[in-house]
Structure 1
Amino acid sequence: MGDGIGRYRGTESKLAQWLRRRPKRDAAGDQNDREKLLLAVAAAGLPLAPAAYPVGYSCSCERIGCPTPARHPVSFAWQTQSTTDRAQVERWARNEPRANFITATGMVHDVLDVPLSAGRAALDRLLAEGVDVGPVAAFPDGVGDGGRMLFFTATRGTPEDEDEWWPCELDCHPETMDEHPGLRWHCRGSYVLVPPARLPGDEDAHPAVTWVRGPEHALPDPLNLLEALTDACARHAAARESEDGEDDAAHEIAWPLTR
């Protein structure tokens, strides 16, 4: 009996009619949205360069055992290649419609990179306290380290003494420091993915890396965010240790890695 329901005029449900009329996913529209988001990042002054993209569960670089699939620049010259030039970003976006993009840190901005749950808690606290928070991006759970949240800040500036710079290796791995468990500070010599970006396994899905707060927000002083972020990271690490019986947070995969 049920097989005949909706086959005759006037008996088709409104939901079925809507599903039948619903437009299919517009690939051109997706590309236009992607290009607009990338141009907004460039307009905010954050230098961009093309990055690898997912091919199924692998990386477009075809490197066997790529340690950071779809999360690294295409060119070894990414630092000098990075640009905010609108025309160049448009060319890259149109010529490489599947490419992810990275932004080089330490030129205009730094990024404080924390576990996703810690980032959510810190963001709630910062906004409740009325602190000016800049752009924030998020990676989902299930990317190898439980998800991450990226807080974009002003850079610490170019010091008169070049020796005052922290090396990138420290900026990307400060979770080894007891006072900053799980926190990575990306500055000169480092980079992060920018939305919209896809990760292995979701190349035909919606972007996995998305804006929580867009690049239209002004870049804050990183020191204004640091206390809330380090407190949230410490609580995150303590919770992980109590749940698992050991400090697994200290062993999370940190990236970018040297290619």
Structure 2
Amino acid sequence: MSATFGGRTGRQGKLSQWLRGRRPKETAADDEGREALLLAAAGAGLPLAPAAHPAPGYRCSCDRVGCPTPARHPVSFAWQTQSTTDRAQIERWARHQPQANFITATGMVHDVLDVPLKAGREALDRLLGSGIEVGPVAESDDGRMLFFTLTRGTPEDEDEWWPCELDCHPETMDEHPGLRWHCRGSYVLVPPARLPGEDGRQVRWARGPEHPLPDPLSLLEVLTDACARHAGDESGHQAATWPPRH
């Protein structure tokens, strides 16, 4: 579906102009632009569901005391079945919940390779310089870069799945510090999304959803090599199950 979206030159041109016109630290105050970006993501095949948003005092809109992932988690426990690409439903959510962030559920249509920002920027330059097809890429002001790829699909043998967790990897490969492979049972924030803080932190597209989703294995070697070189950049980086349970 991402390739089809990329062929809609009129909408793609308007989206690209809007993306270029935004300042990096600008908040998503433009409701029309916010809705356009969400519909673009859905049009590229990314299933969306509403998520929490920042509340005053570095808190989360869910009001859970000590929320471990403020403004970064779905609002419904049924987010996996709720996630959709239906345009009318996403428009209703966006208009009725104007402050909400949105997540996209991985492992259905797409996976996400989630790496430290410095490693991601280095890898992106190398990938583009080598002529490797790179799909949508998002940057998060909490220090991560998200590479959106095709999912590896549901294998006939369920034992072939590996869990989606911090520093996860297929059993046949070595461990890759700093890499999170979001597949079935996981999610990530989809731009535009706001993060807690008074400095306008957000998640935004570095490369928009008009770019076709690539095979994750075509990116993995360059990403893991960059992660290995920047392994020391994540002080306090701890292994934990992802996504956190709410």
TM above 0.5: yes
Which stretch shifts more, 32-41 or 175-184?
A: 175-184
1:248 is paired with a residue of what secondary structure? coil
What is the CA deviation profile of residues 161-202 of structure 1, one whole-angstrom value per residue up to 9, with x for unaligned ones? 1222222xxx22126996300000000000000000001124
For the 8 Å contact 2:166–2:239, the answer to whether it is kept is no
Provide structure 2 residue ranges, at least 5 long, that are not aligned to the other structure: 1-26
Provide structure 1 residue ranges, at least 5 long, that are not aligned to the other structure: 1-26, 241-246
Counterpart of 1:160 (choices 156, 159, 162) is 156
- For 1:137 and 1:62, the matched residues in 2 are separated by 27
Q: Larger Cα Rg: Structure 1 or Structure 2?
A: 1
Tell me the matched-pair count: 216
What is the CA deviation profile of residues 93-144 of structure 1, one whole-angstrom value per residue up to 9, with x for unaligned ones? 000000000000000000000000000000000000000000000111xx3x
Residue 258 of structure 1 corresponds to 245
- For 1:31 and 1:230, the matched residues in 2 are separated by 37
Q: Does 1:191 align with 2:187?
A: yes
Residues 138 and 41 of structure 1: is their aligned pair in 2 closer, same or farther, counting only changes over 3 Å? Answer: same
Residue 228 of structure 1 corresponds to 222
Residue 81 of structure 2 corresponds to 80
Residue 128 of structure 1 corresponds to 129
Residue 21 of structure 2 corresponds to none
1:87 is paired with a residue of what secondary structure? helix
Report how far residue 228 of structure 1 moved: 0.5
More helix by share: 1
For the 8 Å contact 2:186–2:242, the answer to whether it is kept is no
| Superposition RMSD in Å | 2.2
- For 2:28 and 2:99, the matched residues in 1 are separated by 12
Residues 163 and 252 of structure 1: is their aligned pair in 2 closer, same or farther, counting only changes over 3 Å? Answer: closer
Determine which structure has greater relative contact order: mean sequence separation of CA pairs < 8 Å that are 6+ residues apart, divided by chain length. Answer: 2
1:181 is paired with a residue of what secondary structure? coil
- For 1:257 and 1:153, the matched residues in 2 are separated by 22
Report how far residue 250 of structure 1 moved: 4.1
Residue 6 of structure 1 corresponds to none
Residue 34 of structure 1 corresponds to 34
Q: 1:10-159 counterparts in 2 under 5 A?
A: 30-56=30-56, 57-140=58-141, 143=142, 147-159=143-155
| Paired amino acid for 1:174 | D
For the 8 Å contact 2:105–2:187, the answer to whether it is kept is yes
Residue 211 of structure 2 corresponds to 217
For the 8 Å contact 2:28–2:194, the answer to whether it is kept is no
Which stretch shifts more, 116-125 or 171-180?
A: 171-180
